[in-house]
Chains A and B, each alone.
Chain A
Amino acid sequence: MATITLEGVSKAFKGKPAVDGVDLSIDDGQFLIIVGPSGCGKTTTLRMLAGFERPTSGVVRIGGRVMNDVPPKDRDLAMVFQNYALFPHMTVAKNLAFGMRVRRVDRKVIDREVASIASMLGIEALLGRKPAELSGGERQRVALGRALLRKPKAFLLDEPLSNLDAALRAQMRFELKRIHAQFPVTTVYVTHDQVEAMTMADRIALMEGGRLQQVAAPEVLYSEPANTFVAGFVGSPKINLIPGQVVRDARRPTIRSMSCDIPVDGTAGAVLASLPHDNVVIGLRPEELRPRRPATGGLPAVRGVIELIEPLGSETHVALRVGGHVLTCKCPPRAGLEVGSEISVEFDPEHMKVFDGDTGMRLG
C-alpha cells in the first residue's frame, strides 16, 4: 500500500515528447484511472510507474521513495497487461505461482494461496491448463489473479478489458470494482474507454497530447470540465460545443449563439465581462436539451430540423440541424418525432458550460 506521486514527469522518444510535465499524486488505496485518446501518453506514464521506461525528466515516487533508477523487479508492483502476458509454457497454477516462486515462498504457502485466489476468481478448474486452452475472459482472470497474489504496493492495469467482448467487459468492470473494495490497494488503471473510467474510478486523470487536462472525480469531470477537450471526451452522446459571441451592450452578461440570446449568470457571467475578446464556446449536454412543449416560460430555445433519429429503447437520440450546427438531444422514447419535421428545444442556461473561444478553457 502506498501513495504514488509524479512530479513534473516528462518522457521523450528520440526528442519527441510523449509525456510532458505530468504532476499527479495518487492517495493510498485510491483507484485512479488515466484516460485519453490513443497516443495521449497514458500508457507511457504507466510504463514509467512500472519502471519499463525511464523519465526524461521529473521524479516518480512510490511510497515516498524516488523510483527513477529502481528496476521493475524491485518496485514491488503488480501489473496486468493489455494482452495478459501469461507465460504460454506454464500452466495456470504455475503462472499464478510465478511471483511467489521468484520470492522463494514456501511451497505449501504457495499451494494454499494459489488455491484461495483461484476459488475467489472462479478458476479452480483451470489450474492445470495452459493459457492457449483458455478463453479471453479466463485469461483475464488468471492475469488478475497473478497480480493479486503479488500483494503489491500498487496495481498497474494497462487496458485490461480492451480485448474482451462487451458483455464480459461489463461483468469484469463490476468484478474489478469488487476486488478493489476487498483489497483496497492503490490502483492505476489506463484505458481509452470513458465508460470504464466513469464507472470504476475514484479519480480520473484525463490526458491529451502528453499533458494532463484535468484530474477529478468522475462526477466533477462531467459537470465541471476544465476545458472543451475534457467536456468533449466525457459523456455519451458527446456534449454539443457551439461557438458564440459575447453581447457587450446587454444589461446582464449575455452570449449570442445560434441566433439566440442566452443570459449567463453566476461566476461565468462575471468573467465574461473581463474577457478581452468576444469569442466563446458554449457547451450543452444532450440531456439538457429538451423538446419544448408549447409555452414553457422563460428558458432560451432554438428551432431546428430533425436530421436523424436513433431510438435506443430507453431513450432516443435526435440530431437537430440549427443553422450551421447539428445539436444532439437526448429525448424520451416514443416522443412522436419525425425526420424532417421542425421542433424547438429549450435549455436551462444554468447548466450551460461556457468556454473561452480562443484557449478552450472553461470560464467561471
Chain B
Amino acid sequence: MTVAPHRDEPPGEAAARPGAGGGAAPRGTAFPAAARRLRTKVLPAIIGNLAMTIIGVIFLLPLAWLILAAFNPHASPGVVTPRFSLANFTQALQSGASGAIMNSLYLAGVSTVIATVVSTLAGYVLSRHYVPLKGAALVVIIFLTGLPVTLLLIPIYQIFVSIGWLDSPFYTSLVLAATSVPFAIWLLKNFIDQVPREFEEAAAIEGSGQFRVLLTVVVPLIMPGVLVSAILTFINSWGAFLIPLVLDANPSDTPGAVGIYQFMSANGQVQFGPLAAYGILFSLPVIILYLISSRWLSGGFSFAGGIKG
C-alpha cells in the first residue's frame, strides 16, 4: 500500500525513515499516490467490468427468455416472470419430443462412433505411415472441412435414391459421420503426431501388432483428443437439420432439430412456451455430455514420466 505521510509529521522525519509510506511527498499535493491509483487501476477496472457486464447481459437475455418462457404457460416473445408451470414440458413431450430426442440420440450416437473410429484409423495412418501424396491428401482434407454440406446434399440425395438408402436412420447417420470426418482426421492426426514413437516401438518389441499398439498405447495417450473429436461430431450430428430432413422423410424418424418446427406453424403462429420447453429438453443431452467428459478433458494431454523430459 502506498500511503502519503501524515500531515502533522515533520517532512524531514518522514523522509529519513526508509520505507515509510509511498515516498516523501512534498507538503501541499493532496494524496498524489491515491489519485494515480484511481487513474491507472480503478477506472480501467470499472470500465472493463461494465463492458463485460453489458456483453454478458446481451448473451444471457435469450437464455433467460428460454428458461422463463419454458415455465410460462402464456409465453410470448417478451421476457416476463412467469407463474411457474410445467404445462409447456407436458405439451412438448406429448407432441413427440421424447421420440424425436431418441431419434437424435441414435443419429448422433451412431455417427459419432463411426466418425471417431474412422478418423482415428485414418489419423494414425496419416501420422505414422508412408502414404503417397500425403501432403496433397491433407490439403484436400482441410479443404473438405470448409465445404458446405448444402452443396453436396442434392448429389447425395440422388445417390441415395439410386441405391435405395433413403428413409433409413442408419444411412443418414453415415452421411452425418462423413461431414465430421475431415475435421476429426485433422484433429486426431495432430494429436497422434505428438505421441513419441518410442512408445509404439516399445510396444512392438514386446510383441504387439499394429492394432494392439494403436488400441493399447496410442488411443489411451490421445484420449483427450478422441473425446474432443467425439463431442464435436456428436454436437454436429445432434443439431443437424438439413441432412435428416432431406434423406429421411419417415415421420417416425424425425430428429429433434427437425421436430422443433412443429411449434412454428406455416401461418406465422408460434407456440413460444412449448418451443422453449422443447429447446431445453433438446439441449440437456449435450450439456450432460459436456459435464461427463470435462472430467477426462481436464486430465490433459501428457506423456509425463513415460519418456524423459
A-side interface residues toward B, CB under 8 Å?
Answer: 50-52, 71-75, 77-79, 81-89, 98-99, 102-103, 130-134, 136, 139, 146, 150, 156, 163
Contact = CB atoms under 8 A, between A and B. Distances in A.
Interface of B: 196, 198-199, 201-209, 212, 216-217, 220-221, 302-309
Contacts of A136: 308
B236 to A, nearest CB: 28
A87 B308 contact: no
Contact of A79 (B202, B302, B303): B202
A88 B302 contact: yes
A72 B302 contact: no
Contacts of A150: 206-207
A52 B304 CA distance: 24
A161 B124 CA distance: 31
Contact of A131 (B198, B205, B212, B305): B305
B135 to A, nearest CB: 17
Given A81-B202, A83-B307, A89 B220 contact: yes
B305 A130 contact: yes
B305 A132 contact: yes
Contacts of A73: 204-209
A102 B212 contact: yes
Nearest to B209: A73
Given A103-B207, A150-B206, A163-B308, 6 more contacts: A72-B204, A72-B205, A88-B306, A89-B220, A89-B221, A132-B306
User: Closest 4 interchain pairs by CB?
Assistant: A132-B305, A131-B305, A83-B307, A88-B306
Contacts, number: 90
B206 A85 contact: no
Contacts of A74: 207
A74 B204 CA distance: 9
B300 to A, nearest CB: 11
B209 A131 contact: no
B249 to A, nearest CB: 46
B306 A102 contact: no
Contacts of B305: 86, 88, 130-134, 139
23 contacts: A50-B205, A51-B205, A52-B201, A72-B204, A75-B205, A79-B201, A79-B202, A82-B308, A83-B198, A83-B308, A84-B308, A85-B199, A87-B203, A87-B217, A87-B306, A88-B302, A98-B206, A102-B212, A103-B207, A131-B306, A136-B308, A139-B305, A150-B206
Q: Which of A79, A85, A102, A130 has the most CB of B within 10 A?
A: A85
Contact of A99 (B198, B207, B220, B309): B207
Contacts of B216: 98
Nearest to A158: B198
B198 to A, nearest CB: 4
Contacts of A52: 201, 204
Given A130-B305, A133-B305, A85 B207 contact: no
Contacts of B196: 83, 85
A150 B204 CA distance: 12
Contacts of A99: 206-207
Given A85-B202, A87-B199, A89-B220, A102 B307 contact: no
Nearest to B219: A89
Q: Which of B212, B217, B221, B302 has the most CB of A within 10 A?
A: B217
Contacts of A86: 202, 305-307
Nearest to B212: A102
A123 B203 CA distance: 21
B43 to A, nearest CB: 46
B203 A98 contact: yes
